[in-house]
Structures are given as C-alpha cells and as structure tokens.
C-alpha cells in the first residue's frame, strides 16, 4: 500500500518562537552567526569550510553571478554561481570572484612599455581597472617597469599614439614592497607614503602582487568577509548530473571552493553517480553539496553517496511550481524538522556531522531564524537576493515602482533542462516547473542584509541563544492558528501613509 504520512505538512507561517530567558550578557553584539558549510567529525575537527553568516544565494541565472558572489562573500555568506551556462563562462565568473580580494592581488590588467594610450583606454574599458602595472613582457609576472594610473595622462592633451613608457610612473619613482612582506606591513607602507597601490616584487624585480589601499578601507567595513587561506573570497558553483565530468575539473581548476548539484529532486541515482565520481576522482578535498530532498531517506541516500551538505526543500520557492505541476514536495518547515532529526541521528551513530541547507519557503525575515531553530545550518535564498543591485537581472520600471526580473530555473526562459534528468538520450522536460516574474527592487545588498541580520540577532537574544547551535538546542516553537497570524500584524487601526511620517 501507499505510505501515508499522518502528520500535516507545515510551512514556516504556521510557527512562532516562544521566548526563553534573556540573560544580561545575551546582547546583539555578542551573538555569533558562524555555521558549518561542510561535513566534519564533530568534537574532533573543525569543518574545512564555514560561513560567517548562515546565508547562501540560490543557483539561479537571475541571482548568482560573480557580482552577487563578491557582494555576499564580503558580507560573510556564499554564492553558488549558476550552472545553466557554458563551462567557460561559469569558470570566468568563478575566477572573477577569486581575483577580487582584500589583500595580495594578482594583476590581471597589464601593459608593455611599447603599448600606447589607445591600448590603455581600451584595457580600462574592458576591465574597469584604472591602475595598470607595466612589465617588460606585459604579463602578470613580468619584470616591473612602472605603473600607469588615470593621473598619468590626459586624454584631451595626450596623443592616443603616445607610448606607455613616455607617461607611466617609472619604477624608480614608485614605493615597492618585496615578496614575503606581511599584509599588515604592506598596508603600513600604503599609509606611510600616502599611496593607493603598492606593487610587490621578488628578488629579481618581477611583479608578484598588488596591494590596494581601498581593500584595507573596505575590509574594515566588511568584518565578516568570507576568505580562504590566501585572503581570497570564497565562492561556490552549481553543477548538473550530465556534463559534470567536464564541468567539475574546470571549476575546481578555476578556484571554486565548493560545488553543489542543482536539481529540484535530488533523491536519484544520477546524483549518486555524480557524487561518487567527484570523490573518487578528486578526493575528500573536493567539497560538494547535493539535493534537494524532503525526508530522512533522501538525506541518508545522499550522505552515504558522499555529499558534504544536503539541501532541503521541494516546491517551496516563490517562483517554483513543482508541487503544482507534479504534485510532489513537502511543507518546508516539516521537511527541515524531519531532515534535521535524521542528521542528528546520523551524527550520533557515526560521529560525522553533515550540515543541511534550507532552500525555499522564506517569505519574511523571521522565517530565516525559524529555519535555523528547526535545525537548518544555513539558508539558501533566491528571491531575497534577486532584488539587489548586485544580481544579474535587469532593473526596470513597472508603473510607479522599480522592480527586478526574476525567473525560475525550471521556466522556459531559463531553459535549464540539465537539472531535470529524463533518463533518455536527448531527453528534455516538456513542461515548466518555474515561472517568470518580478521582485521589488531593494538597492544595495549590504544595506538590506544588515537589517535582516540585526533582526536575527535580536530574536536570538529573545530566545536566550548566543550561537546558532545553541538556538537549535534550546529554541521553543509553537504552532499558530490563522487568526493568531492576523493578530500578529497591524490590525484595527488606520495606518498612516509612510510618505507623511
């Protein structure tokens, strides 16, 4: 007989947190939001990758490109660059995130002394960089001859045919750092000499890195930056179960810190094959998440196949219509609660802790902390991040308001059929599982994200928890009725127009 779950499938809207005692030392400034990203032996070792805030951006064309990846990593979270593009273009996005770092930068915009001002302007237009090292061969590791900045020429008065060697700032006029210098010492030189860029050279005078003053300033404004051991931003990348033998090596070579299989239903042999290939070919150093699942069986299947984290959720995304089209899925709250229980049981049996990611179902900011309280280690969101300047989708005016385009990976617009394995050669999905829509434009990512994080920290104080792990262990949840949801919002008053307040 068909197995029928007696428990009702519930959403985040059906729960509220009940406050615990708030102690005097439980204040927002003492809350930490660190959370594991990959599996590890709890109590024995530290996870190879952690998040400084429990947020990841969804593997979607309209959400996660290199600019969003940079912005979110600088705030402490991680983006998974969308995989529904060519391998070459996805690799280039990963490289752009890895090259944007606070610290020792490998120069990607270089000149030869024989280049002209026309070459300078063309390179600036292409890369957006105004500081360009001049090396003997024009390569990133060539012998440093000088530097060109926007202060070295005037387009209105300098001929486009003028050689770079004639207007560059030569090396004997530059302040130079030597290979092996610490980042602190390099920053000290920047401040001492009131310069914006410090070239780092080796003992033979060949360029190795650049250190920028702006990186020091910006790092102070982003204390939770998610960085690797080389001070580069951490970034993830989505993969599928079709071209993974070509895509995975290219992404790892490009510097992707972690991969994630992108699928609406992850409880499949195709994901098992993909996971086993990655682990057998690249070893445990190659980290990869899998999903999506909604129950214990799906979680254990992927973990035993080698998943370093598991995504939970089917059909809960704002643009996802999988439940409507196929009749499969589960309320996000119920799915998280069951999978979290399975994760904890697996840990008790094996000593290995496998993080779970809540993917979908987030409507309000408080839903994020409900997901964490229910057991999620971090949260993946699409609609939330699609609203910001840094997302790749277009900002347009719709009536009196500005909006951003937002479409699902299962929509005709995305044409991302690689995430839907049909089990046949040349097979493709014959119907949509996502819609094409708009979301309200919300400006810069950091401005809104700071507010969301402030809400989370405040709620954790009300729950008497200083860490996410403590929240998961001590939180108390209550079911709510439809009328109590109404009671929880503004009611029985005439709201003032915000324009006049």
Q: What is the separation of C-alpha 458 from the centre of its chain, rounded to a whole number of angstroms?
A: 24
387 among known catalytic residues? no
Q: Are the C-beta atoms of residues 144 and 171 closer than 8 Å to each other?
A: yes
Element housing 123 (H / E): helix 117-127
Q: What is the separation of C-alpha 420 from the centre of its chain, rounded to a whole number of angstroms?
A: 23
State the Cα–Cα distance between residues 390 and 97, nearest whole angstrom.
13
Q: Are the C-beta atoms of residues 418 and 84 closer than 8 Å to each other?
A: yes
DSSP per residue over 393-433, as a string?
A: SPEEEETTEEEEEEE-TTSTTT--GGGS--SSTT---SS-S
154 among known catalytic residues? no
Catalytic residue among 26, 75, 197, 320: 320
How does DSSP classify residue 234? P
With b for 16 or more beta-carbon neighbours within 10 A and e for fewer, the 239-275 pattern comes to bbbeebeebbebbbebbbbbbbbbbbbbbbebbbebb
State the Cα–Cα distance between residues 449 and 358, nearest whole angstrom.
18
Burial of residue 182, with CB atoms counted within 10 A of its CB: 0-12 exposed, 13-18 middle, 19 or more buried: exposed
Start-to-end CA span in the chain (Å): 61
Among candidate residues 255, 222, 212, 282, the one with its CA nearest the CA of residue 81: 255
Catalytic residue among 208, 247, 387, 419: 419
In which order are the strands placed within the sheet that holds 401-407?
A: 395-398, 401-407, 436-440
Burial of residue 411, with CB atoms counted within 10 A of its CB: 0-12 exposed, 13-18 middle, 19 or more buried: buried
DSSP E strand stretches across 13-70: 15-18, 35-36, 40-41, 50-51, 55-57
Q: Are the C-beta atoms of residues 356 and 336 closer than 8 Å to each other?
A: yes
Neighbours of 42 (CB within 10 A): 16
Among candidate residues 382, 94, 353, the one with its CA nearest the CA of residue 238: 94
Residue 307, phi then psi, degrees to nearest 5: -65, 135
Instruction: Show which residues are catalytic.
Output: 320, 419
């Amino acid at each position: 007989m068909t197995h029928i779950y007696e428990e009702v499938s519930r959403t985040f809207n059906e729960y509220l947190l009940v406050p615990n005692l708030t102690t005097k030392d439980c204040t927002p400034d003492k809350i930490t939001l660190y959370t594991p990203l990959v599996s590890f032996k709890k109590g024995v070792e530290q996870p190879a990758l952690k998040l400084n805030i429990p947020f990841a951006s969804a593997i979607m064309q309209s959400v996660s490109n290199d600019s969003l990846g940079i912005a979110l990593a600088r705030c402490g979270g991680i983006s998974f660059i969308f995989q529904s593009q060519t391998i070459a273009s996805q690799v280039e996005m990963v490289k752009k995130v890895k090259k944007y770092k606070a610290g020792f930068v490998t120069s990607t915009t270089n000149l030869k002394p024989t280049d002209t001002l026309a070459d300078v302007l063309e390179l600036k237009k292409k890369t957006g960089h105004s500081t360009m090292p001049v090396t003997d061969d024009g390569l990133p590791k060539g012998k440093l001859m000088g530097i060109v900045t926007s202060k070295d020429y005037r387009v209105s008065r300098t001929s486009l045919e003028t050689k770079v060697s004639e207007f560059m700032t030569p090396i004997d006029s530059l302040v130079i750092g030597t290979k092996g210098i610490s980042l602190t010492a390099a920053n000290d030189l920047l401040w001492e000499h009131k310069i914006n860029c410090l070239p780092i050279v080796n003992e033979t005078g060949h360029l190795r890195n650049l250190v920028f003053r702006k990186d020091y300033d910006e790092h102070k404004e982003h204390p939770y930056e998610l960085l690797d051991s080389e001070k580069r931003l951490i970034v993830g990348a989505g993969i599928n179960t079709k071209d993974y033998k070509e895509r995975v090596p290219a992404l790892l070579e490009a510097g992707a810190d972690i991969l994630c299989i992108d699928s609406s239903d992850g409880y499949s042999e195709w994901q098992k094959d993909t996971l086993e290939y990655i682990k057998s070919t690249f070893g445990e150093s190659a980290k990869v998440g899998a999903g999506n699942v909604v129950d214990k069986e799906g979680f254990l299947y992927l973990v035993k196949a080698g998943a370093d984290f598991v995504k939970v959720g089917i059909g809960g995304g704002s643009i996802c219509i999988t439940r409507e089209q196929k009749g499969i899925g589960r309320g996000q709250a119920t799915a998280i609660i069951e999978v979290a229980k399975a994760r904890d049981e697996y840990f008790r049996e094996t000593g290995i802790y496998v993080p779970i990611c809540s993917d979908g179902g987030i409507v309000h900011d408080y839903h994020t902390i409900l997901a964490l309280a229910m057991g999620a280690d971090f949260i993946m969101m699409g609609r939330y991040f699609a609203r910001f300047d840094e997302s790749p989708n277009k900002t347009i005016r719709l009536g009196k308001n500005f909006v951003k385009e937002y479409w699902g990976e299962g929509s005709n617009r995305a044409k991302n059929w690689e995430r839907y394995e049909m089990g046949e050669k040349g097979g493709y999905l014959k119907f949509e599982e996502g819609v094409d829509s708009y979301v309200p434009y919300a400006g810069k990512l950091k401005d809104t994200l700071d507010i969301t994080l402030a809400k989370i920290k405040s709620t954790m104080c009300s729950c008497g928890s200083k860490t996410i792990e403590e929240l998961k262990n001590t939180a108390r949840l209550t079911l709510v009725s439809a009328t109590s949801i109404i009671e929880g919002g503004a009611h029985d008053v005439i709201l003032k127009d915000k324009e006049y307040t």
